[in-house]
Structures are given as structure tokens and as C-alpha cells.
Amino acid sequence: MNSNSGRKQSKVIVADDHPLYLKALTETIKKSEFVSQVEQAKNGVEVLNLLKQSKYDLVFLDVSMPEMDGEEAAYQISLNYPDVKIIAVSMHETSATIKQMHMAGCKSYILKAADEKEILFAIKNVIAGKNYFNQLVTEKLLLSNEEETSVQFHLNFRLMPKEIKITKLVCQGKTSKEIAAEINLSIRTIEKYLEFIYHKTGTSNRIELYNFALKHQIINI
């Protein structure tokens, strides 16, 4: 039996709202010896619908998409499908965007200018459970000591941008219903976020979370 015959086992979703790039990226992903199936989506909503219908191993997410962008989609995937690995794809190389996607759970960040070799290398590493960030992206993640400290805090507690926003709203005394209305999510989703926030911060209620937020300067009196 061919030694590579058992490798093509991973099911992949690729999401991008630009048809030409979506087609090109899909064709490249299909060349991976580790990928057995590729489904396409135009935004984060379609990605989540696909994940509800079947099991997938890897998702490529364009950062900028209508209806639900890559950051929110990555966050929802990390929250509800923790075994699914995520690779961010973008034409943007700003440190803020890269960090946001990293903190949202992406294992790799690929620029749209990346060649076929780099894309296939990223797939190989991420499917193997590793992170892949090229030199440029790594440098963007480590721009200054101040930014390194900020990133390390978020990585230590694994608090993502949406969780930090919800934490701040909780500390303002807002109810789950009020928070849901303000950030356009369902009450059930907010409650799910809170479960994860409590777990990550080692707190069990809003008072403890308020004290945690004060201690770690998420909020100020």
C-alpha cells in the first residue's frame, strides 16, 4: 500500500467572499496530500452552517467578509468546535489584525500573496497540531515590549477580544440580555461566552470577575 494513501483524511472549509481567490485557494488546498475534501463558503455564517452539518478538521478564514467576518467566525469556531483548526487568510499585514486573529484561535496567518508551497506547508503543520507563522507575521506579533506583554496576558488567560468586551460590559452591571442587544449576539451565546470567561479567569460569578478585571487592569475604577 502506498505510504501516502492514508494521509488524505482531513476535511477542509475555505471561506472567502472574492470568487476568484476562493477558487484559486481551493485548487491549491486540494493539492495537499493531507486533504480529502474541500467545501467553500462566502462568509462566517456559511462556515458555521457547514460545521453544524458535518465534521471538519480545518477552516481557512478570510479576515474581511460580509455578514460575519473572520475574527468573529474564528471566535465562534474556537468556542463551539475546539477541535477544528483555523488558518487565517488576509491581504492585511498589520500587527493589530494578526494579533486579533491569533487571539481568536488561529493556528496560522497566511497573506494572500503567499505562494502554493507556503500554503501547503501551513496545512501540513496545522493539521499536525503545530502553529505556522512566517517570519514577517512573527515579527508583527512581537513588535514591542509593550505589545508582547499585552499579547502574553491574553495568551496566558486565553481571553479573546470578544471576551474582553463582554467582561467590560459585565463589569458595567449590564445583564446578558443587554449585552446581547449591544453586540448583536443571542442571549444563549452571551451565556456561553460567560461560561468560558469564568473558566479561563478562575472565577465563578460576576463579582469575582469584576475583581479579576480590576486586578488585571481590564477595567479601571
Residue 39 is given by DSSP the state E
Q: Is residue 5 part of a domain?
A: no
Neighbours of 130 (CB within 10 A): 12
For 67-101, the three-class secondary structure string (H helix, E strand, C coil) is CCCHHHHHHHHHHHCCCCEEEEEECCCCHHHHHHH
pLDDT (tens place) for every residue of the chain, 221 residues total: 344 444 778 999 999 999 999 999 999 999 999 999 999 999 999 999 999 999 999 999 999 888 888 888 988 898 889 899 999 999 887 777 887 788 788 999 999 999 999 999 999 999 999 989 887 887 776 663 344 445 445 544 567 778 889 999 999 999 999 999 998 888 888 888 898 888 888 899 999 999 998 888 888 76
Write b or e for each residue in 27-64: b if 16 or more Cβ atoms lie within 10 A of its Cβ, otherwise e: ebbeebebbeebbbbbbbbbbbebbeeeebbbbbbbbe
Range of the domain at 194: 159-215
- Beta carbons within 10 angstroms of residue 189's beta carbon: 18
CATH number, domain at 88?
Answer: 3.40.50.2300
Number of compact structural domains in the chain: 2
Q: Which three cell numbers stand for residue 196?
A: 468560558
30 shares a domain with 69: yes
- Domain boundary (141, 168, 187) is at 141
In terms of domains, do 115 and 175 share one?
A: no
With respect to residue 147, please indicate whether it lies within any of the assigned structural domains: no
Instruction: Classify residue 148: in a domain, yes or no.
Output: no
**4 assigned to some structural domain:** no
Taking residue 171's Cβ as centre, other Cβ atoms within 10 Å add up to 17
What pTM was computed for the model? 0.69
Q: Taking Cα atoms as reference points, which of 53, 158, 167, 57 lies closest to residue 102?
A: 158
Among the candidates 90, 107, 141, a domain finishes at 141
57: nearest Cα among 114, 113, 7, 19: 7
Residues 94 and 191 in one domain: no
Same structural domain for residues 163 and 69? no
- The Cα 182–Cα 5 span in angstroms is 50
